[in-house]
Every structure is written in C-alpha cells, then in structure tokens.
Structure 1
Amino acid sequence: METWKRPRKPPACDPCKVRRVLCHPQPGGAPCPRCLEKGFICTTTAVPRGRPRKHPVQPASGRPHQTTPPLVLHPLPNFASSAPCPELSPEFVAHCFEGLTFNALYQHPLIMATSIRSELHAVSFQINLLPPQSRVLALCSVAFGSLCAFHESVLGDGPRPDSFLDPVFFSSSPDLLSCGVRRAAACQALRSEALKAAWKVGIILLASHENAASCYLLDLMDQTHEIASAGRPWATAYIAHMRSLAVWRTPPEVPWAPSSSGFLWIAYLMCDCLISARSRTPPLVTAQDQLLLCGPEPPLETLLATLEQSMNNPDVSLLWTSTKTYMFHITTIARELVEKITGDVPRDRPLSQIAVLSFLESLSKIYSILTLLLDLVDALTAVPVISPPAVLDGAQIDVLAVTAAFGACFGFSGIVLPFYRELQHRDAEAREGAPTRERLQAHHMAVLAAREMARGIRYVPKIHYSPVHWETIRSWAEWAAEEADLAGGTISPEEARDLETLADELKLLGYSLDAASAPETVALIARMEGHVNRTIASLFLPPDDGSHLNEGAVSLQK
C-alpha cells in the first residue's frame, strides 16, 4: 500500500518574498492573486535546496567528470492586469497626448529628440501602424498620459472636468479624489500593455532615442506605483541609453530658452537624484553625467555673489543661468547625502559629524541662494502667482519664472527632509532624550523648507499635473501635520496657509492617483484641514457686530 504524501507547495514569488507576505502560487505560471491585484511582475527565482556535496562523485576514470549544468528556465514576467485595457482608438490616443502637453515631465530632452508626435499624426493616431520602437513609446506615453486624462475609457461614468484646464472642476469639485480611484484600473491596464510591448521589443537592450524615452516613462510610472522597485531597472536602462546617446548635445541658441539642452538636462538629472535621496537608494546619476550633459558650473559662493550684485538689475537670462547652476549643485548635494549620510553603507557606521556639518553648511548657502532667486522671480513677474495656461512649449517670461521658482523650491525641499529624518532616526536609535544640536539645526532648515515647498506650489498655476511628485508632497504633508500636532493646534496664519496649500496639492494629486483608497491619506488631509479651520476660527475678533475678521484672517483667505 502506497503512502500518500502531501504535495510540496510551490515557492513564493519574488515580490511576495520581498514584502514578506504570504504567497498563493498559481498553477501554469499564472500570477499570484496579490501580484495580480497590485499589478506587480510575478516572477519566481528558483533557489537550490539542500547542502552541496563535500566530495563530488568522480567517474571511474578518475578524471573530473565535466558536464554542462542544467539550464534554469525562468518564467517570463507576467504583465496581466485585473481589468481590461481601454480600446486604443485614435480619438483616445489623441486625448492622452493632448493631456501630456500640460505635464512638464513629458518635456524631457529624450522625448523631444524623438519624432513620436509627428509619427502619430502621420498615421492618424493609429498606434498599431507605428514601427516597433515608436509603438512602445506611444504606448508608454498613453499610459503616462492616462494619469491626467478625463476620457470615458479611463474615468468611466461619473463627474469629470470639461477640459484639462477646467477651473470650476479643479477648484471647487468634491470629486477630485474619486477620479483617482475610478481611473486606477484603466491606468494599470494601460501600463501593463506598455510593459508587454517593451519586454517584447527588448527596449532595455538597444540604445535609441525611442527606447531611452520609453524607459524614462516606465520609471516615472513606477514612482507613482504603490511600491516602486528599489533597483529601478527602467531608470538604470534610461541612464545607460542616455550615456550612449550623449551625442545629442547641441549648443543652445540662447541660454535661457526652454530648448536649452543644458538647463533641461540638469533639471531632470536633479529630479532623478532627489528620488534617490528620498528613497535612500544609490544614485544613478554620476558627476560625470552632469559634466557630460550640462558642463561645469561655478561654485555656490560665486553664484551667491553674482546674485547679490545683480538684484538691482533683474534679468530673465540671469534667472535662467543662475537656476541652472543652483540645480547642478542640488544634484551634487543630493548624491552626497545618500553616499555619506543616509545610504545603507553610512547607516552601518557611526554618523559622520564632519559630513553632517558640511551638509548643514551647504544647506545654509543653498537657502540664501533660493531666497535671492525667488526675489528675482517676484521682480520679473510683478505678482507671485501665474495664471494658466502652463504649456512649456514657449519662452514666455512668466512660464520661465514659474519653472525656475518651482524647480528651485522643490530642489531645496527635496534634500532637507531626508536629511532631517535621518538625524531623527539616529537620535531614536541612540535613545537620546534631547535632540542633538545638529538635529535642531536640521529642524530649523526643515521649517524653512516646508515653507518654501508650499511657496513653490503657489507659484505654479492652480491646475497642474505632477503625479510623480506624490511621495515627496505626501512626506512634507505628514511632516507639517506632525509639527502642527506638536504645537497643540496653535499655529500661525502663515503656517495654516502652508498646510492648506499642501492639503489642496494632495487632493489635486488624488485626481491622478488612487489616493482615496488609502484611509491614512484621507485621514491626513482631514487632519490638516482641521488645523486650518481651527486657525481661521481663532482669528475672528471678539463678537461686537459679529461680521469682522482681523488682518490675519483676511491674509489667510487670500
């Protein structure tokens, strides 16, 4: 009589292993339920079991028996989606590309070096008629554009804006967060289609304009995902292609034009380094990359002296060249932050006081330069808030100023918070009762950075699309809410205004991303709005006629 043996459970897939959660492997190479729901690539890496033989068996001849090891066949990534992909009709594709006009991240030099728009127009937006590499780029563009699309194929039934710049919907509609929830399944399905095509064509293996741009867009979409891959394979490929195709460099026609390759390259390289700083992962952008694509820049001391001497004669070219130098140094400092303070290697060692003091000194210089740059923006635009449209295809002074102001604020804020959180983490590990002097200095910088982050958001038009910045904005919103909690709910009108700005930005980002499905996000927005409402209520004068607000309340409303 044969003894029944329980069948061995298949091994857990790689994403479930990384997250340390229970996996339910499916037969036939199908993705597990968790990967299917989250849209992860469900792969399983075979792990050899048992101990290796200490003394390998020798053949009778006494000579080592040379055999070819068996080939381990890894299953191809599964890009299945829990929802059907929207029909890629010419009308839907054209709609998504129209939305990309308002997304500054799509103005990357990699994408501008392609002819994807003219190719699509030539085939009347029929993606299936494009060559393979262009077809992949078009699919990646549509998937990225679906994050701001309001087409019925994406949002289904329900309230939606009438245009990409619908002032009524984006300023007063209570349905912003519901849009992100409704679009999630369709966006995931479109991303899966882009991944399938990218894998089939092998865009990682061949450097070309189209493949580099597709890798860039796939990495951007990873940053909006619930859990981005720590290795960032698409970003690694995009950087490798970028280096191979560095012959794109052309001298700019005028130093402040939006087409200036040096300015645009350093802006996008800065964003990439800020992602590494935020996630404490090794930077992909090297110092050689900066020099190759942007050229050398003067030191911070020279930039600060130049700005101080030129403030009486504001000029847009000064703003553009100064912002380029500023972002160049932000990129360098962000890389040093990971390599010397927050990365895995420095975390295994005692905190370097020299590195911390040097970083604080750099932050002080950067903040001084940021203050002068924003004063220059205000002098050039006369009013701090620029009205739509925010299309970055032209060289209007107001668009240049908005781009420079937001980039400068975002860069400074992007390196301050990871630094402060690391010192906070170190103090908690050391179980020190009082914060160290360096942490107090970092906290002061974080207070300034939170204010500048909110100020930078107020510079841009009310309607803008930047879903990739979700994690950064959410981190600053949590920090600002913590500070308001520690203050016992008693905050100044300026602090309340900044809280309101960050809360509104989270809701605007929730139009593109599925933020409302996370209870903690909804609770965070409510918490921030609670502090704002209490501050407004406290600014009412004692009731004499019951109809007046003091000056602080009026300024907060503005």
Structure 2
Amino acid sequence: MLGASSLENSKKPRKPPACNPCKVRRVLCHPQPGAAPCPRCVEREIICTTAGTPRGRPRRNVTGFSGRAQQTPHSLVLHPGPDFGTSADCPEITPEFATHCFEGLKFNPLYSHPLISATFIRSKLSAASFQLDLLSPPSRVLALCSVAFGSMCSFHKCVLGDGPRPESFLDHVFFSSSPDLLGCGIRRAAACRALRSQALKASWEAGIILSASDENAASCFLLDLIEQTDICSAGRPWGTAYMAHTRTLAPTWHASSNLSFWSGFLWIACLMSDNLVSARGRTPAMVNAQDQLLLCGSPPPLESLLETLELSVDNHNSTLLWVSTKAYMFHVTTLARELVERITGDFARTHPLSEAIVRSFFNSLSKTHSVLSLLLDRIDTLIAATASVNPPALLADSRTDFLAVTAAFCCCFGFSALVLPFYRELQYREASDGSDMSEPLLALRMQAHGLAVLGARNLARGIRYLPKIHYAPAQWATIRQWAEFAAEEADMETAPLSPEAAYDLETLADELKLLGYSLHAACTPETVALIERLESHVNRALGPMFLSVDGEADADESPAPSLDEGATIIPEFQNEFH
C-alpha cells in the first residue's frame, strides 16, 4: 500500500485558470507558466489577463460614507472595441476562393501599389497554399483585406449566388451584351459587406493602426479604398493611418537604398489619387508637400515643364516622356491640395472668394491642360509604334504598353478630377452670393465652364485607353459626378450633338454599367436613370444606323492601340516593378 506522501506526489498539479479573453470567447485556454500570455492571446496580439474567480455567496455592495460602491483596484477593465457584427452572408474563405479573389486583383491597377508589392503577399499566400490561417497575423490581415477588395470583381458563386455571371474575368460576351450586368452589383452587396466586416474586425484586433509596417500600411490602404466605394467617410481613418505609416517607413526605405523603387512612377500616381479624393470631397488633403518630396523627389516648375515639352515636340525620347509624366502628376497632387485649402475647403468657404486666388488657380489649370495635350500626343506616338490594335488585357506587368496606358489614364483622370470640383465651387458661390459676385469672378466662372467641358472630354478619352474590361470601383464617385455633368450639358444643348460628343456620353454610360457589375451604389434607380439619359442623347445624336453590332459608336476616334505581347521593358523603369 502506498503511503500518504506517495499519494500526494502522484496527484497531478492543478491547471491554472483560463485567462479572461479566452473565457469571454468561450474557447479552450492553454495557460503558460510564469504568468506568460497564452498562445491565443499572443496570436491575436492582445493583453492576456487572469482575474480570480469569486467563490461562495456573492457579497452585497458595501458602500462607504461617501455613498460610492467599493472598487476592486486590481481588476482591469478593457474598453470594448467596435461591434463589426457577423453575417450569414459571409463566404467561407477557402483556399479555392482566396485564389480566385487574388486572380481577379491582377485586373485592378490600384492593387499594383508599390507598398503592396513590397509585402510579397502573393508569394506568402502561395507558400501557404492559400490557407490564410497559416499566415502571420499581419499577413493574414492583409490577405483578408485583399480578399474583401477582390470580391468586388469576383464572379464566384458564393459572392454572386445563383444567376447569370461571367465565366472568366475577361468574358467579353457577358460584359458587352449581358442584360444582367447591373444586377451583379446588387447580388454581391451582402457578401462584399460581410467580407469587409471580417477584414475590419481582424484589422482592429491586430491593432494595425498602431504599428507601422509595410503590411499594416498596405492593409490600411486597401481598407480606405473599400470605404471609398460605399461609406465615403469624410474622416478617412484608414487612409490617415496609411499615410502615417508611410511617413514613418519612408526614411527606412531611403536608408536601405530603395529610393529608386519607392520614388517611382506608381508612387506619385497613388499619391495623386489620394489627394484627388480629398479634392472631390472637400476634405483636408491626405498628402502634404513633404510626403511628395520624400517619396517622389522635386520636379521642375509647371511653367518649365510646359516649356520643355513645347521645345521638344519632335523629340520622342521615352525617358523624357516618363520624367514629364511624373512631374505632371506631382503638380496635379499639389494643385488638389491648394484647391481644398484656398478655394473649396470648409475654412475657405467662410471667406469671400479671392479673385487673385481663383485667377491663379485657373491659370495653373490651363497650363496643366496644355501639358496634358502634349503628353497624350507623345503617348499616342509611343503606342502607335506597333501593329497591335487593342489595349492590354492585364494591367499588372512592366511592359511598355502597361506604362503607356496607365500614364495616359492617370494624366486624363488627374486633370478631370481637378476641374470639376473647381467649377462646381464657382457655381455654388454664384448661386449663394448672387449679385454680390464681382464681374471678374463671373467671367472666370464662364471660363471654368469651358475647362469643365474639356475635362469631360479628356476623362472619356482616358477611359478609352483602358482595356474594354477593367475594374476600378474606387473611382466610382468621380465617374458618376462627371456623368451627371455630361448629362446636364447634353440636356441644355438645342442643336444635335456631334458624333464625338455622343461617343463621350456613350463611354461614360458604359463605364457606369461596368461599375454596376462591382458596386451596389452604381445600381440604384438614380444611377440607372442617369445611364438612360446618357443613352437617349446618344441614340438621338447618332441613330441606329451609326451604331456598330456591339453597340459602340463608329466614331473616328478609336481606343488607343497598345504594344504587342513581345514589347520590351523600358530599361530605366525595369527596377520600378521588380
């Protein structure tokens, strides 16, 4: 028979109590010796606390002479996070579904952001067989944000459900002739919102706003893009965090000799897009002057850029084209910030319009349009140097056609996204001030209208540079505002529209339909009525005899051709993408 001491030694030690976070989630906890955090709390990067469990009958509240309930100073009360909710509509992110979403992201040019490329998230997912749970917490959050962003162009059954859908991301038959194109945006809305909520919850739990890293900055960038397609929050918390991380990380990129990569062509394009969103919403600019200089260098003044291009009309050197394009986008970024700070912003609206400021901005816009015209002529010459007739189907490589098409669209979009908020502000001031508006400002408002007409024409031209099937849901608000402007202009026309003007209206209508495939917001009755207005003007101007079989107008201006599959990579940009 074993003695008492032997029985005591044979007893297993008592298991430590579960931590508070595991108790709340009702999951099995694995307490660690030495008060170390449990594995689940380490994985979620949260505080692991263990409070003692009260035993026996609960005591009554004991109040002192001050009447306040007795406190327990040793207990830690955690502030609850936001309730992102759960949804039965959220698709299960299987390896097959994750692979599908990442395949679709190849067709979205915004996912070519150099910050996302620096995370190597595709390679990490591929190494993990597209199983998100095998990734580190920051990589898993970025993968969830990518899947949520990619779901806006997905045709997977768990996103679109039952019903007509394309057979591939480049199903030209479906995208050109299917009457169910707009219905896809409505059918995918619930799944997209559920995936976004899942990405938001994971991002909050991982604290990506608080820790600067390439992956956290990329996740914040994607969440900001997703927000622009639906909520359009004026505060842009995720965009603010993305830029804050970028400012923290940029000096390390310089120190590690990554200057040529991080100050490249795509960086300035992304910074320009960020400030144009602020200009559209009359909110403080996301990108300041120091950000531009640190990431993109210092370009020549706008006047010098225009003079250089005018004096080198016959010089078709590709290096001059790319340097000039980067300088152009740099100045558009600066003008977007000046527009909000000096003309359209909330503070600027508390003061009367300054004629000097408006005239100076108008002159800058006029010079910007002159630079744009010269750049597009050079880009057209570069693209027309080959026998290929269609734009590239995939905007995700470093070939010359990708650079040329991206440059052309960004240049057109940059000018157009500046002109419309400027013109709308002058319209607003005229309506609110009435007869108090000076004659010079009224004249400038009329001249700004002429720039706005050019802006609509250039936006339509920029869209036609892109592949027939492309995915740009983040540009939804800008495209719709321009479509409304174009419809207003067509409504006021008494004479029949020219074939070129009708072709522009058709381009905008088709772009709204393509956005309707991705977004529920583009499928509302108001947007559908806007599309019908545009198409009615097109039909009256051209008539059925001028329409081709696939519904496109046979105007003289056709989509810009691109280089063939064997196009060479421009040497000075080879390191920008690899």
Using the TM superposition, give the Cα deviation of residue 348 of structure 1 relative to its aligned residue in structure 2, in angstroms. 0.5
CA contact (8 A) 2:426 2:445 kept: yes
Matched residue, 1:148: 153
Using the TM superposition, give the Cα deviation of residue 117 of structure 1 relative to its aligned residue in structure 2, in angstroms. 1.1
Superimposed CA distance per residue, residues 500-519 of structure 1 (whole angstroms, 9 cap, x where no aligned partner):
00000000111110145411
Which of 208, 212, 215 matches 2:220? 215
d(CA) in 2 for partners of 1:98 and 1:269?
Answer: 25
Which of 119, 123, 126 matches 1:114? 119
* 1:410 and 2:413 correspond: yes
Which of 97, 100, 103 matches 1:98? 103
| Aligned CA distance change for structure 1 residues 275 and 386 (closer, same or farther; 3 Å) | farther
Matched residue, 1:234: 238
Which of 313, 316, 325 matches 1:314? 316
Matched residue, 2:505: 499
Of stretches 433-442 and 452-461 in structure 1, the one that deviates more from structure 2 is 433-442
CA contact (8 A) 1:390 1:399 kept: no
| Aligned CA distance change for structure 1 residues 416 and 263 (closer, same or farther; 3 Å) | same
Superimposed CA distance per residue, residues 376-430 of structure 1 (whole angstroms, 9 cap, x where no aligned partner):
0111111899635443443322211101100000000010000000000000001
d(CA) in 2 for partners of 1:442 and 1:346?
Answer: 19
d(CA) in 1 for partners of 2:557 and 2:500?
Answer: 11
Superimposed CA distance per residue, residues 215-260 of structure 1 (whole angstroms, 9 cap, x where no aligned partner):
00000000001x321111001100000011002247679x8xxx67
d(CA) in 2 for partners of 1:466 and 1:386?
Answer: 23
What is the correspondence of 1:481-496 to structure 2 with a 5 Å cutoff? 481-488=487-494, 490-496=496-502
d(CA) in 2 for partners of 1:491 and 1:424?
Answer: 24
Matched residue, 1:555: 555
* 1:282 and 2:284 correspond: yes
State the SS of the aligned residue for 1:229: coil
Name the TM-score, length of structure 1 as normaliser: 0.81
CA contact (8 A) 1:386 1:398 kept: no
d(CA) in 1 for partners of 2:257 and 2:363?
Answer: 34
d(CA) in 1 for partners of 2:337 and 2:137?
Answer: 36
Q: Which runs of 5+ in 1 are unaligned?
A: 1-59, 61-67, 541-546
CA contact (8 A) 1:386 1:459 kept: no
Using the TM superposition, give the Cα deviation of residue 464 of structure 1 relative to its aligned residue in structure 2, in angstroms. 0.7
* 1:191 and 2:193 correspond: no
| Aligned CA distance change for structure 1 residues 201 and 306 (closer, same or farther; 3 Å) | same
Matched residue, 1:468: 474
The CA RMSD over aligned residues, in Å, is 2.6
d(CA) in 1 for partners of 2:460 and 2:403?
Answer: 19
Name the TM-score, length of structure 2 as normaliser: 0.78
Using the TM superposition, give the Cα deviation of residue 455 of structure 1 relative to its aligned residue in structure 2, in angstroms. 0.4
| Aligned CA distance change for structure 1 residues 293 and 554 (closer, same or farther; 3 Å) | closer
d(CA) in 2 for partners of 1:488 and 1:193?
Answer: 52
Matched residue, 1:48: none
Using the TM superposition, give the Cα deviation of residue 373 of structure 1 relative to its aligned residue in structure 2, in angstroms. 0.5
CA contact (8 A) 2:423 2:452 kept: yes
d(CA) in 2 for partners of 1:425 and 1:396?
Answer: 44
Matched residue, 1:50: none
d(CA) in 1 for partners of 2:524 and 2:394?
Answer: 32
Which amino acid in 2 is paired with 1:238? Y
d(CA) in 1 for partners of 2:456 and 2:210?
Answer: 41
d(CA) in 2 for partners of 1:527 and 1:83?
Answer: 38
Greater Cα radius of gyration, structure 1 or 2: 2
State the SS of the aligned residue for 1:350: coil
State the SS of the aligned residue for 2:300: coil
Matched residue, 1:291: 293
Which amino acid in 1 is paired with 2:337? R
* 1:175 and 2:180 correspond: yes
* 1:387 and 2:390 correspond: yes
CA contact (8 A) 2:262 2:295 kept: no
Using the TM superposition, give the Cα deviation of residue 313 of structure 1 relative to its aligned residue in structure 2, in angstroms. 2.5
CA contact (8 A) 1:386 1:460 kept: no
Which amino acid in 2 is paired with 1:204? I
Matched residue, 1:205: 210
Using the TM superposition, give the Cα deviation of residue 311 of structure 1 relative to its aligned residue in structure 2, in angstroms. 2.2
Matched residue, 1:438: 444
Which amino acid in 2 is paired with 1:457? I
d(CA) in 1 for partners of 2:393 and 2:350?
Answer: 45
Superimposed CA distance per residue, residues 322-376 of structure 1 (whole angstroms, 9 cap, x where no aligned partner):
1100000000000000000000001011011111000000011000000000100
Higher relative contact order (CA 8 A, sep 6+): 2
CA contact (8 A) 1:81 1:188 kept: no
Identity of aligned residues (%): 65
Using the TM superposition, give the Cα deviation of residue 75 of structure 1 relative to its aligned residue in structure 2, in angstroms. 4.6
CA contact (8 A) 1:109 1:261 kept: no
Matched residue, 1:343: 345
Matched residue, 1:511: 517
d(CA) in 1 for partners of 2:133 and 2:78?
Answer: 31
| Aligned CA distance change for structure 1 residues 390 and 449 (closer, same or farther; 3 Å) | same
| Aligned CA distance change for structure 1 residues 386 and 148 (closer, same or farther; 3 Å) | farther
Q: Which runs of 5+ in 2 are unaligned?
A: 1-64, 66-72, 559-578
Aligned length: 476
